[in-house]
Structure 1
């Protein structure tokens, strides 16, 4: 087949540093505003960060000395954020008490103490790199960006550590490589990262354009590079193993995706919803295994809604094999949105949810291939992430065995 596209040369470079036992904790900064002036410290935090901890948890954090106002520790939860003198204990040498004015514009800081994050792989493989971008092969179990329990054990952290190791002065002068899209923690495969601000802007626009123009044509390989402006600039192909036997060889799923309240997910859970935002997935059957009652499929996503493939395949009656969250219909196994658990962990925050959440792993989904118009040369390139053994067709397994 003749076309202007080029299969990107595969690299075998791996990198990654082991995770420390504890992360560095976090500092959440706020500024006292006029609208906050009548609130107490406990009212401010339990209202603004109600998804972080229950009331008793915030009381524990305040009394533990994890809140400061303009650098001074505040342990009295009834301290009012108004223009008045208050008294706090300042544990520094032999000084026990100081006076400080809490006024509009004062800085409040909550220090979340360091904690041990759940286990996560740390090795990453570089499968493509040039002056503008890096393509990584992300392992299942590694989160892309900080969030929830994972603030350090992420792809972003490993990219930062690698950039600092390669050029210690990089942090002071240039941005380090940054992921331009997300993959679920349990999803493996190809992750694009930008090395410059311009690359980040353009690659982000590629992904956003695909989502905002659902229904457009796929990339046509017969097009010349000068004609690519009339079609999508990026095409994403995934492999997945689903439960049951998919009867049709090809299925287009255009079910909208919306958000519902769900315990343990502060901003809500993405589900199949008639009132949601448009989404389109093109599913093609590669192989059916009637003995194991599962089907190997290829999925092209034209939009990029969170957990789109998991939701769409579940919506058509074929959830991903091993998916702990999404079931037939495109919703969660349990949708008890009214349930609230006020128990809290040692740091005052909510305990880890006992019900499945989006970051739980166990399913088989792999970002296999990206075809894109290069942001600098406009050349059409194809980047592929090696397939896990359980997502290869019998023919692909035989071909690998013959090498």
Structure 2
């Protein structure tokens, strides 16, 4: 099964919040220094930019949280508009539209699931099978926000496809490709945790031991494929995985 797809295992419910877990990493927001944009693709309609881990996709509330990928891009491309987001700790490819019409067209592509995405993650434990799907409905864990949780009664449908790339017996980890068929908040992180394989370095969903294995969330938006909103030709971009 290919997991490079448009947005068969047992599951466990969302873990309880551990004592001492930071509910919102913005309290310690320290974005990486701006040393120039890492542009993977650009034309007169759209940009595809590599976002570093630790940088917000869009500005947060207050001057302290203004620094973001969107604000950095807009210093050079004043007409650039955000189309979708990556979690602050996630690195990789993010699409921005150049102008209002491009924003409408690209937003429609995302809403209609015409954008193909592949993420790479390093997860805890060695996965027993080579591929599978996780279909667990998700909703905000309101008292513990920004955490999300599995909720069979009120959650929104969410589907993730995964495929093993390599297993590391020495470090008890598995490298996987992940394809989010839907685009729920924290979907990949919650889904992998819920099947017993939290993403290494995850400050919200991994155990203290798994968090301590890396100084960042080991999740990277590695590949995008979408029809160009103006020409219809496919744009296919791959970003090297930094871990």
TM normalised by structure 2 equals 0.80
What's the offset of the Cα at 1:118? Answer: 3.1
1:152 aligns with 2:66: yes
Deviations 1:228-284 (A, max 9, x none): xxxxx2101000000000111001011111122235x4xx53222213001111000
1:286 aligns with 2:149: no
Q: In 1, are the aligned partners of 2:138 and 2:150 still within 8 Å (CA)?
A: yes
* Distance in 2 between residues matched to 1:177 and 1:245, nearest whole Å: 41
What is the SS of the residue equivalent to 2:44?
coil
* Distance in 1 between residues matched to 2:28 and 2:193, nearest whole Å: 30
* Distance in 2 between residues matched to 1:119 and 1:315, nearest whole Å: 29
What is the SS of the residue equivalent to 2:198?
coil
Number of residue pairs aligned between Structure 1 and Structure 2: 208
> RMSD in angstroms over aligned alpha carbons?
2.1
Residue number in structure 2 paired with 1:316: 195
What's the offset of the Cα at 1:386? Answer: 1.9
1:118 corresponds, among 19, 24, 29, to 29
What is the SS of the residue equivalent to 2:197?
coil
What's the offset of the Cα at 1:117? Answer: 7.9
1:386 aligns with 2:240: yes
1:163 aligns with 2:77: yes
1:183 aligns with 2:97: no
What is the SS of the residue equivalent to 1:192?
strand
* Distance in 1 between residues matched to 2:184 and 2:173, nearest whole Å: 25
Larger RCO, structures 1/2 (Cα 8 Å, 6+ apart) = 2
1:269 corresponds, among 124, 129, 147, to 147
What is the SS of the residue equivalent to 2:72?
helix
1:257 aligns with 2:138: yes
Kindly report which structure 2 residues correspond to 1:210-249, keeping only aligned pairs within 5 A, or say none.
Answer: 210=113, 233-249=114-130
Cα 1:252–1:180, aligned 2, differ >3 Å: closer, same or farther? same
Q: In 1, are the aligned partners of 2:29 and 2:65 still within 8 Å (CA)?
A: no
Residue number in structure 1 paired with 2:99: 196
* Distance in 1 between residues matched to 2:216 and 2:46, nearest whole Å: 30
For structure 1, the residue ranges without an aligned partner over 5 or more in a row are 1-115, 165-175, 211-232, 334-355, 391-403
Runs of 4+ in 1 over 6 A off after TM superposition: none
1:206 aligns with 2:117: no
What is the SS of the residue equivalent to 1:326?
coil
What is the SS of the residue equivalent to 2:188?
helix
For structure 2, the residue ranges without an aligned partner over 5 or more in a row are 1-26
2:178 corresponds, among 283, 299, 313, to 299
Cα 1:117–1:299, aligned 2, differ >3 Å: closer, same or farther? closer
Q: In 1, are the aligned partners of 2:83 and 2:95 still within 8 Å (CA)?
A: yes
Deviations 1:54-106 (A, max 9, x none): xxxxxxxxxxxxxxxxxxxxxxxxxxxxxxxxxxxxxxxxxxxxxxxxxxxxx
Q: In 2, are the aligned partners of 1:258 and 1:273 still within 8 Å (CA)?
A: yes
Q: In 2, are the aligned partners of 1:319 and 1:326 still within 8 Å (CA)?
A: yes
Residue number in structure 2 paired with 1:137: 50
* Distance in 1 between residues matched to 2:185 and 2:61, nearest whole Å: 16
What's the offset of the Cα at 1:148? Answer: 4.5
What's the offset of the Cα at 1:199? Answer: 1.2
What's the offset of the Cα at 1:163? Answer: 2.8
* Distance in 2 between residues matched to 1:281 and 1:258, nearest whole Å: 15
What's the offset of the Cα at 1:203? Answer: 1.2
